[in-house]
Amino acid sequence: MTIQEASERYQIPMSILREYESWGLCGAVKKVMGDWQYDDTDLERLSTIMTLHDIGFTTEEVEVYMRLLLEGELSVGQRLRMLEEKRSAALDEIHFKEHQLLRLDYLRHEIRKTQKGIGGMAE
């Protein structure tokens, strides 16, 4: 499968595919008549790259993770640590947003309470 076919079939931006190729991580990807050819292993790696991007990894973090992935069992601890750090950051963000919602709800409540007081006085 060519880079164009992979991009279209799996909805992977060309920039991600070119980035992947530039990292030299394309183990089985071979150039055939000037085009890169992707096999199932490459497509699995690309899926991992897309997942990492989707969960908030920077390009640099994705490259580090993918290089560790190629090391196999030796890097399981490091990869797990990277994922746990990202998960912890996501939870911190969720808790911050929950706190914002509580403050917004308090302000809305105060406005409604004031409106009821004004409405009640007019009657």
Tell me the DSSP string of 83-112.
HHHHHHHHHHHHHHHHHHHHHHHHHHHHHH
What residue type is 58 in one-letter code?
T
Encode pLDDT of 31-77 as tens digits: 666 666 777 888 888 889 889 989 999 989 999 999 999 899 999 99
SS3 label, residue 21: helix
| pLDDT score of 61 | 95
Instruction: Give the separation between CA 7 and CA 16, rounded to whole angstroms.
Output: 9
Would you state the pLDDT for residue 70? 87
pLDDT digits (tens, 9 = 90+) for 67-112: 999 899 999 999 999 999 999 999 999 999 999 999 999 999 999 9
pTM for the structure as a whole: 0.71
